[in-house]
Chains A and B, each alone.
Chain A
Amino acid sequence: MLAQTLVTMLFPSTFLYFICYIGISSSCFWIEEEHSPDKKAHNTDSTVLFDEDRFFHIKRHREEYGFEPLLQDADPSANRSVALGMDAFNLILETFVRCQSMNWYLSSQPKEKMACSL
Chain B
Amino acid sequence: MVNFMIPKADDGSGEEQDLSLFGVSLVFQRSSTARFHPRRISQTQLIGSEKVAGAANTQVEEKKTELTEDKKEASIDEAGEFPSPLSFDTSSDDHWSTFTRSIQVSEDVPMFNSHLREQPWVDRVLQDEIRDQDVPATVGVALVSRRNVVIAMRQTLWMLLRDFSREPEEKGSMKPIDKSIITCGSLVDLLGTFAHQDVERSALRCILEPYIRAASSPWIERPIGSQKEEFERLAGQQLMTCLPPIPLALLFVAALLEQKIILSSTRRSILFSATAALTEMLKPLKWCHLLVPLVPAALAKDLIQYPAPYILGMPSEDPGVMDIMNDLPMDVTLVDLDVGRVILAPELSYDNRNTSGEANENMAQTRSQVLYLAQILGSKFGANLYRDAWSCDSPSLTLCNYSRQTAQRQADFDVLRAVCRSFVEELLAGTML
- Report A's interface with B, CB cutoff 8 A: 70-71, 75-77, 79, 82, 84, 88-92, 95-96, 98-105
Q: Which residues does chain A contribute within 8 Å of B257, judged by CB atoms? A: 92, 95-96, 99
Known: A77-B384, A100-B258. A105 touches B286 (CB 8 A): yes
Q: Which residues does chain B contribute within 8 Å of A77, judged by CB atoms? A: 380, 383-384, 387, 390-391
Known: A98-B353, A98-B354. A76 touches B390 (CB 8 A): yes
A71 vs B375: C-alpha distance when bound (angstroms): 11
* A-B CB contact pairs (8 Å), 10 listed: A71-B376, A77-B383, A91-B365, A92-B257, A95-B350, A95-B366, A96-B257, A98-B351, A98-B353, A100-B309
**B371-389 with Cβ < 8 A to chain A:** 372-373, 376-377, 379-380, 382-384, 387
Known: A88-B369, A92-B257, A95-B350. A100 touches B289 (CB 8 A): yes
CB closest chain-A residue, reference B365:
A91
Number of interface residues of B (CB under 8 A): 35
**C-beta contact mask, B273-290 vs A, less than 8 Å → 1, else 0?**
000000000101111110
B197 at the interface (CB under 8 A from A): no
Q: Which residues does chain B contribute within 8 Å of A92, judged by CB atoms? A: 253, 257, 366, 369-370, 373
A49 vs B181: C-alpha distance when bound (angstroms): 64
User: Quick one: which of A82, A84, A96, A104 contacts B286, CB cutoff 8 A?
Assistant: A104
Q: What 7 A-B pairs have minimum CB-CB distances, sorted nearest first? A: A76-B383, A77-B383, A91-B366, A101-B285, A100-B288, A98-B351, A99-B258
B256 at the interface (CB under 8 A from A): yes
User: Quick one: which of A76, A89, A101, A105 contacts B373, CB cutoff 8 A?
Assistant: A89
**Residue of A90, A99, A103, A105 ringed by the most chain B CB atoms within 10 A:** A99
What is the CB-to-nearest-CB distance from A95 to chain B, in angstroms, rounded to a whole number?
5
Q: Which residues does chain A contribute within 8 Å of B383, judged by CB atoms? A: 75-77
A99 vs B350: C-alpha distance when bound (angstroms): 9
B391 and A102 within 8 A (CB): no
B369 and A91 within 8 A (CB): yes
- Taking A95-B351, A105-B286 as known contacts, 19 extra A-B pairs with beta carbons closer than 8 A to each other, sorted by chain A number, are A75-B383, A75-B391, A77-B380, A77-B391, A82-B380, A88-B372, A89-B373, A90-B369, A91-B362, A91-B365, A91-B369, A92-B366, A95-B257, A96-B256, A98-B354, A99-B258, A101-B256, A101-B282, A105-B284
A99 vs B228: C-alpha distance when bound (angstroms): 27
B394 at the interface (CB under 8 A from A): yes
CB closest chain-A residue, reference B385:
A77
CB closest chain-A residue, reference B382:
A76
Q: Which residues does chain A contribute within 8 Å of B288, judged by CB atoms? A: 100-101, 103-104
Known: A76-B379, A76-B390, A99-B256. A104 touches B285 (CB 8 A): yes
CB closest chain-A residue, reference B363:
A91
A104 vs B14: C-alpha distance when bound (angstroms): 11
B390 and A89 within 8 A (CB): no
CB closest chain-B residue, reference A91:
B366
Q: Which residues does chain A contribute within 8 Å of B366, judged by CB atoms? A: 91-92, 95
Q: Which residues does chain A contribute within 8 Å of B354, judged by CB atoms? A: 95, 98
B285 and A105 within 8 A (CB): yes
A89 vs B384: C-alpha distance when bound (angstroms): 23
A82 vs B294: C-alpha distance when bound (angstroms): 35
A87 vs B234: C-alpha distance when bound (angstroms): 38
**C-beta contact mask, B57-87 vs A, less than 8 Å → 1, else 0?**
0000000000000000000000000000000
Q: Which residues does chain A contribute within 8 Å of B391, judged by CB atoms? A: 75-77
A79 vs B354: C-alpha distance when bound (angstroms): 36
Q: Which residues does chain A contribute within 8 Å of B282, judged by CB atoms? A: 101
